Amino acid sequence: MNDLLLVRKNLFRKKLRAGLMIASILIAFAIFGVLAAFERAFNAGEDVAAADRLVVVNKINFTQPLPMAYFNRVRGVDGVRQATHLNWFGGYFQDPKNFLLVFAVEPETYTELYADDFDFPAEARKAFIGERTAALVGEAMAAKWGWKVGDHVPISSNIFSQKDGSRTWDFTIAGIFKSRGAQANTNFMVFQYEYFNETRSFLKDMIGWMALQTTSPLVNDKVAKAIDQMFANSLGFTGGRLLRLVLSESVLLALLGGLPGLALAFLVTLLVRDQLANFVPGIALTPRIVLLGLVLMLGLGFATGLVPALNAFRLKIAVALGRG
């Protein structure tokens, strides 16, 4: 008997244990692979990012919107050459499975800020700025769906709805833009923020984030600090409250995962109790076990939330991300 055969036989001597361990490792590395792939994709943008770009997001987290009134204040900061604002739309075409990258933007400033990244034809840009329901579509997206200039396309949102309850907005393709760089992605579309803002049913006059171009990369830190100071107290959160909010979120997440897990464990023990009565009599999810589980959930929540809470406390509003 060679060593490999011996290892294999010993590994599967207890098939249930081996199966559970393999399943656990499989899930762990599947998560690792997906997260690593996302991390690589996000960091890849650093290679083509403009050095004079900043992105301004909400201090709580990037999913929280910003008041539209902040835009002109940020644009007026010394050292900001140009600024625009964007809003995630959560779009799809015809079927929710046909997910699309769609953003509501301020057309004039957006096309100016990203003119070095994408080639916006002059006539297309003019039509985009002048026509309320106009949209600009990236070359890759247009090729994928067979769209061309002048087409009328209905795009739905899995987040937003219109005031009449509809989730679909109608757009006219004013132009198709190309990438000026080999690594810039054109599988997305943009449309007028004003059209979006006046028709959506909630979050009126709110924007997702702002993208800035500074006068020089040398002033990036100065601009970021100026924006931080400008909005230092605008969110209405004290340091202590911010810590409590983030820690509470972590604890809630642990409870949302842990409580159903205990419920599932209760059902499993209930189902197998009679079958295993001769081998493990008295198998049950006792109150002591439940209490221990709750303590572990709280401990997990605090342990995983403490560092993010401290980071949130120190987080700058202006985040240098390069491209928005």
Nearest Cα to 230, choosing from 113, 69, 37?
Answer: 69
| Residue-level pLDDT at 292 | 86
| Residue-level pLDDT at 314 | 60
| Residue-level pLDDT at 235 | 45
Its pTM surpasses 0.75: no
Other Cβ atoms less than 10 A from the Cβ of 168: the count is 13
Which residues face 100 on adjacent strands? 91
Q: How far apart (Å, rounded) are the C-alpha atoms in residues 318 and 233?
A: 14
**Chain-centre distance for alpha carbon 205:** 21
DSSP 98: S
Q: What is the pLDDT along the chain (324 residues), one digit of tens a residue?
A: 555 665 566 556 677 766 776 676 666 666 556 555 544 444 544 444 568 889 888 877 667 899 999 999 999 999 999 999 999 998 999 999 999 999 999 999 999 999 989 999 999 999 999 999 999 999 999 999 999 999 999 999 999 999 999 999 999 999 999 998 766 789 999 999 999 999 999 999 999 999 999 999 999 999 998 998 887 655 445 556 666 766 777 777 778 777 887 788 788 777 766 665 555 556 677 888 888 888 888 888 788 778 776 766 665 544 434 434
**Residue appearing with tokens 């009126």:** 204
The pLDDT tens digits of the residues spanning 103-157 come to 999 999 999 999 989 999 999 999 999 999 999 999 999 999 999 999 999 999 9
Q: How far apart (Å, rounded) are the C-alpha atoms in residues 155 and 196?
A: 12
Structural contact between residues 122 and 101, judged by C-beta atoms closer than 8 angstroms: no
| Residue-level pLDDT at 313 | 61
Residue 23 exposed, middle or buried by CB count within 10 Å (0-12, 13-18, 19+) = exposed
Q: How far apart (Å, rounded) are the C-alpha atoms in residues 268 and 285?
A: 10
Q: Which two tokens stand for residue 218?
A: 């040398």
**Residue appearing with tokens 């923020």:** 193
Beta strand 189-192 with 102-105: parallel, antiparallel or unpaired?
A: parallel
Structural contact between residues 199 and 162, judged by C-beta atoms closer than 8 angstroms: yes
| Residue-level pLDDT at 247 | 75
How big is the chain by its Cα radius of gyration, in Å? 26
Nearest Cα to 113, choosing from 87, 93, 135, 86?
Answer: 86
Structural contact between residues 147 and 173, judged by C-beta atoms closer than 8 angstroms: yes
For the chain, where are the alpha helices, taking DSSP H only?
Answer: 3-11, 15-44, 69-75, 107-113, 122-130, 139-145, 193-199, 220-230, 239-272, 287-314
